[in-house]
Amino acid sequence: MKDTIVKILFLAAVLFASIAVFTGTERLMPLWAGGLLAAVLIFRKWDVLHAALLLFMLSILIYLPGFIGMPTVKSLFPLLASTLLVLPFPAARETLLWAKAGRLDRTSVLIIIFIAAVSAAALVLWANWAANLPSAGLGHPAHGRLPAAGLEVAGAFMRWLPAWLVAAIGVPVFALFNALAEEGIYRGVLQKALGRAFGEKTPALLLQASAFAAVHYRGGFPSGPLGYVMALAYGLVLGYLRRRSGGMLAPCLAHIMADLTIGYILVSYA
């Protein structure tokens, strides 16, 4: 009975996170995530503790405006904080095994190269399309519907630092930390916990990818309905790559390549 309650609440929290952006009910997310976290602590379901903590921390960032303009921070901070909070619970430390590197065979390398090439081309095409759309209050007023937060951060760095330094160091640092944060959240903590609860294959892959795509729907890169579809497909492929390789190295490498493309696009428009 305890297992069933936690599974239902876990599924409900992830599904709500996946659809809340379409209904404008994101601010209710702490209720769902808080209910899951309370059930996990009451029933001592330590195998879901890290995922519950992470979902709750991600949900409350909505109420902290200081983090909203820093896309990487709002991913990296809850991942690191939830990991630290799990450490005092010996029974829950096993959930941190998601962080292993896994194997990187020839097929995985070929998949990474293919994903990097396709995602880079898709992102460039999306950016050119989105930059020429009327902003309609959704994006940067000078650049159609490109993400305003990303443009503002890129523009700030371009004002503070020489362009060559931003290109040589700033963009790669952004790509590294943003990829590690997002992969740690979706292909790491969530996919591992969902796999334990509902099966490693289709349910876990779909659920983590839908939550990943929902984050991009508003203000992500890419964003909007098309961005959601692109991020959903990307999340599914990265989830498969993580499952196939048995670790985080392969999806992280593929994601870094995509984030390098995003970083250079934002710098060029900023």
Return d(Cα 208, Cα 48) in angstroms, integer: 14
Position 142 scores a pLDDT of 45
Structure tokens given for 211: 């939550």
pLDDT in tens, 13-44: 999 999 998 888 988 999 999 999 999 999 99
Mean pLDDT of 176-189: 95
Asked whether 5 and 41 are in contact (CB, 8 A), the reply is no
> What does pLDDT average to over the chain?
87
Between the ranges 65-74, 84-93, 197-206, 259-268, where is the mean pLDDT highest? Answer: 259-268
Position 70 scores a pLDDT of 58
Position 2 scores a pLDDT of 83
Distances from the Cα of 238 to the Cα of 89, 234, 247, 249, angstroms: 30, 6, 11, 11
Position 71 scores a pLDDT of 63
Structure tokens given for 205: 């892959």
Return d(Cα 172, Cα 177) in angstroms, integer: 9
Q: How confident is the model at residue 140 (pLDDT cuts 50, 70, 90)?
A: very low
Return d(Cα 97, Cα 55) in angstroms, integer: 18
Q: How confident is the model at residue 189 (pLDDT cuts 50, 70, 90)?
A: very high
pTM of the shown model: 0.91
What residue spans of 132-190 are helical by DSSP H?
148-160, 163-165, 171-182
User: Residue with structure tokens 């670790």?
Assistant: 247
